[in-house]
Structure 1
Amino acid sequence: MKKIEIACFNLESALIAQKAGADRVELCADMSVGGTTPKIEKIQKALEHLTIDLYVMIRPRGGNFVYSEAEFEQMKSEIVTIKKLRVNGFVFGILNEDKTINIEQNSALVELAKPFSCTFHRAFDEVSNYKQALEDVISCGFSTILTSGTFPNVMEGKEVLKQLVIQANNRIEIMPGGGLRSTNISELDEMVNANWYHSSAITDGSEIASLEEIVQLKKKLQS
Structure 2
Amino acid sequence: MILEVCCGSAEDVLIAAQAGADRVELNSALFLGGLTPSIGAMTVARQVSIPIMAMVRPREGGFCYSEMEFAAMLADARALLAAGADGIVFGCLHPDGRVDKARCAAMLEVIGEKESVFSRAIDVVPDWREALDVLIELGVTRVLTSGQASSAPAGADTIRAMEEYAAGRIQILPGCGVKPDNAAALLAATGCHQLHGSFKTSRTDISATHNPAVSFSGGVCPPEEQVPVTDAAAVRAALRALGK
TM-score by length of 1: 0.95
Paired residue secondary structure (1:44): helix
Deviations 1:52-107 (A, max 9, x none): 11110001101000001111111111112222223211100101111111011011
**Is the 8 Å Cα contact of residues 107 and 141 (structure 1) preserved in structure 2?**
no
Instruction: Give the AA of the match of 1:139.
Output: E
Q: Distance in 2 between matches of 1:117 and 1:108?
A: 14
Paired residue secondary structure (2:3): strand
Partner of 2:207: none
Higher relative contact order (CA 8 A, sep 6+): 1
Partner of 1:209: 230
Instruction: Give the AA of the match of 1:178.
Output: C
Q: Distance in 1 between matches of 2:32 and 2:106?
A: 25
**Is the 8 Å Cα contact of residues 20 and 212 (structure 1) preserved in structure 2?**
yes
Q: Distance in 1 between matches of 2:171 and 2:108?
A: 16
Partner of 2:189: 191
| Identity of matched residues, % | 31
Q: 1:206: Cα distance to partner?
A: 4.3
Partner of 2:124: 126
1:139 equivalent to 2:137? Answer: yes
Deviations 1:23-49 (A, max 9, x none): 1110001122111111111110111x2
Q: 1:157: Cα distance to partner?
A: 0.4
Q: Distance in 1 between matches of 2:150 and 2:77?
A: 29
Partner of 1:14: 13
Q: Distance in 1 between matches of 2:17 and 2:81?
A: 22
Q: Distance in 1 between matches of 2:13 and 2:165?
A: 32
Segments ≥4 residues shifted beyond 2 Å = 203-206
5+ residue gaps, structure 1, are none
Partner of 2:216: none
Paired residue secondary structure (2:24): strand
1:34 equivalent to 2:55? Answer: no
Paired residue secondary structure (1:97): coil
Paired residue secondary structure (1:87): coil
Q: Distance in 2 between matches of 1:105 and 1:25?
A: 25
**Is the 8 Å Cα contact of residues 125 and 149 (structure 1) preserved in structure 2?**
yes
Paired residue secondary structure (1:72): helix
5+ residue gaps, structure 2, are 203-225
Alignment coverage as a number of residue pairs: 221
Partner of 2:220: none
Partner of 1:83: 81
Partner of 2:242: 221
Partner of 2:212: none
**Is the 8 Å Cα contact of residues 185 and 221 (structure 1) preserved in structure 2?**
yes
Instruction: Give the AA of the match of 1:41.
Output: G
Q: Distance in 2 between matches of 1:96 and 1:54?
A: 28
* Greater helix share, structure number: 1
Q: Distance in 2 between matches of 1:18 and 1:83?
A: 19
**Is the 8 Å Cα contact of residues 165 and 194 (structure 1) preserved in structure 2?**
yes
Q: 1:109: Cα distance to partner?
A: 0.2
Partner of 1:74: 72
Q: Distance in 1 between matches of 2:131 and 2:68?
A: 25
Paired residue secondary structure (2:229): coil
Partner of 2:214: none
TM-score by length of 2: 0.87
Q: Distance in 1 between matches of 2:126 and 2:190?
A: 21
Deviations 1:149-204 (A, max 9, x none): 00110111000000000001111110000011111112111111211110001145
Q: 1:222: Cα distance to partner?
A: 2.5
1:102 equivalent to 2:100? Answer: yes
Alignment root-mean-square deviation, CA:
1.2
